[in-house]
Amino acid sequence: MTLRIVYRSYGGDNQKDRPSYYGKPLALRSLLRAAEAVDCEIVFLNDGPVSDAVLDLMRGRGEIVELPGLGLFGSLTAALRLPGERGWPDDDVVYFCEDDYLHTADALVRLQEAAAQLPADYFALYGTLPAERAAGQVSDPSHVQPRGWRPAERLVGDQEWVRVLGTTSTFGVRVAALRADMSIVRQARIPHKNMYRDWDVSLAYQGFEPYRWRGLLRDLVLLTPAGSLKDRVRAAVLAPFKMGMNLRSHRRASNRHVLMAASPNLATHLETEYLATGRDWAAVARETEQWAGSPR
């Protein structure tokens, strides 16, 4: 098994609420620090031009591929197609990473260990954990536990891994599972210009319906609660596509893939509202900068 990293960088930024230590160079340094501890290959996909500070960090650390002007969908699609285009073996593990995540020093070591020992196909270094869900720390109330869900947890060394419902576009996956699930990814993109329904995809490849039928039927007849007419019309337009994802989730048992997340998380999205719990991320940021400034 070879561990491969596909790191997606965007030349711009947005106005999200970020922690004080946020910066794209910091995020990349944390990934490079974690990569230093494992044998892996890195491909940098740049939807740029990216800043000189980020580009300088990439040089000599992996292959740099410039694909300017792709946008969110284009960049994600290019990344997900890469294993197939390059003929990477089925048992390789690919970690797809966005450029605004902070990683612990041992994040990739733990990922590699999990891939070697867990009966899972997808691996989340960042994701909402069952304990957080039980405590009501979930921003979207539509992310309900599907029927038939069964919890699971495993210990790999001293790192706990737990089954989770979904994750973001930053995740690890076995190449064979990704290849089998690409049609789900393509289906989730169909009705949108600027949104990727990662939650739908995560549930569908695990064999669970992302939505409750009753709610979709309500949306279809413009009865979405507490919404403007524009919101209700939008919900009605999206309802058939969401129904399609529900139907797409009905897979043979042999085609269902398991997603497990590190608990506590080994990475965090650097957005204040969504920082992973259970770690002092400001301390991780300081340690990363100390690592970057030390001779190696």
- pLDDT of the residue at 133: 63
The band of 12, judged by pLDDT with boundaries at 50, 70 and 90, is: confident
- pLDDT of the residue at 144: 65
The band of 141, judged by pLDDT with boundaries at 50, 70 and 90, is: very low
- pLDDT of the residue at 284: 98
Query: Per residue in 27-82, pLDDT tens?
Result: 999 999 999 999 999 999 999 889 999 999 999 999 999 988 887 778 888 999 99
Enumerate the domain spans of the chain.
Answer: 3-181+259-293, 189-248
- Report the largest interatomic distance among the alpha carbons of the chain, rounded to a whole angstrom: 64
Euclidean distance between CA atoms 157 and 147, whole angstroms = 31
Say how far residue 216 (Cα) sits from the centre of its chain. Answer: 26
If one compares 212 and 134, the residue with the highest pLDDT of the two is: 212
| Beta bridge partner(s), residue 263 | 160
- pLDDT of the residue at 294: 77
Q: Which residue has the tokens 């509202």?
A: 273
Distant-in-sequence, close-in-space partners of 63: CB < 8 Å, separation ≥ 6: 41, 42, 43, 44
- pLDDT of the residue at 279: 95
Query: Per residue in 233-287, pLDDT tens?
Result: 988 988 999 999 899 899 887 789 999 999 999 999 999 999 999 999 999 999 9
Query: Per residue in 144-190, pLDDT tens?
Result: 678 788 889 999 999 999 999 999 999 999 999 999 999 998 888 88
Residue 280: both structure tokens together: 């002092």
DSSP 212-252: -HHHHHHHHTT--TT--HHHHHHHHHHHHHHHHHHHHT---
Q: Would you say residue 196 has pLDDT above 90? A: no
- Check: CB of residue 104 under 8 Å from CB of residue 284: yes
User: 3-181+259-293 domain in CATH 3.90.550?
Assistant: yes
What are the distances in angstroms from CA 236 to CA 49, 223, 224, 229, 247?
38, 9, 8, 10, 17
- pLDDT of the residue at 174: 98
Mean pLDDT of the region 129-133: 73
Please name which of 242, 282, 245, 274 lies closest in space to residue 98, comparing C-alpha atoms: 274
